[in-house]
Amino acid sequence: MELLASFMQKHKELLEQQLRTSVMQMKAPEIIKESMLYSLEAGGKRIRPMLLFATIDAFGDKVEKGLLTAAAIEMVHTYSLIHDDLPSMDNDDLRRGRPTNHKVYGDAFAILAGDALLTYSFQLIAETAEVGAETKLKLIRELSVAAGAEGMVGGQVADISGENRRLTLDELEYIHIHKTGKLLAFSAVAGALLAGAPTAIVEQFRKFAHHLGLAFQIRDDILDLEGNEQKLGKRTGSDTFNHKSTYPALLTMDGAKKALVQEIAKAQGILQETGLNTGLLMELTDLVANRDH
């Protein structure tokens, strides 16, 4: 894991510099830039950008060419968290150990900050200098699907609709594949597209990230019951409080842990099939399986 830790530290610093630079150069009211940065700079694992970087690295390509796309991914993810925390959604007071955006800036500016992050993400991809127009178009289309009603938004709708009733396993998987998995899948697909991979290899990375996304959410559900609030930076037990179905609730805790192992094995099996230098991605997959926050 030392190789991955060094890789993540270096590229996390580059990413966070880019996030600040991108927001500060906007010709926009200071209050909205402040609200955007408040949530962007609250920390977090940066798993999605790291997945993109590690995918580019697997092809032996220049990782920095994915910097603006990685920033775009983190902006979409952060927008979703800001909106997720709102009183009309999950009504959370804490995110990453700090008061949630709407607790500091009010509901209106929190909503607008989320809107600004989402729309700016597409601008960043369009402005990537060293990427061709055809690749940019593919990236923008992929991100639109992953973030929209066919992806993350659709998953959120199903999640809200599923509160206060026991879901089937298929219904729960739909929620997690769309709410969490689609953006993770985009991260891997984007890395492959930026590296100029042929369609068959791009689709292998999509399948890999599908299983990684399920593993990520299963681990999330486990941590909501067994995790440490200080490490997580948010309340535990919120899924139970909000009457949401989870993998432990449907499969038992032991069953959820077995499902996690199975999804990780499937993800790593697909990586091996690519024949690429996927050492970093293997370590990143292990990190998802074993994370404590």
Q: What is the CATH number of the domain that holds 139?
A: 1.10.600.10
Whether residue 17 has pLDDT greater than 60:
yes
Question: Residues 199-252: pLDDT tens digits?
Answer: 999 999 999 999 999 999 999 899 988 855 555 454 555 555 555 788 998 999
pLDDT at 43: 79
Q: Which domain holds residue 118?
A: 2-290
Percent of the chain at pLDDT > 90 equals 77
Phi, psi of 205 (to 5 degrees): -70, -30
Task: Report pTM.
Answer: 0.91
Q: How far apart are CA 83 and CA 63, in angstroms?
A: 30
Structural domain count, the chain: 1
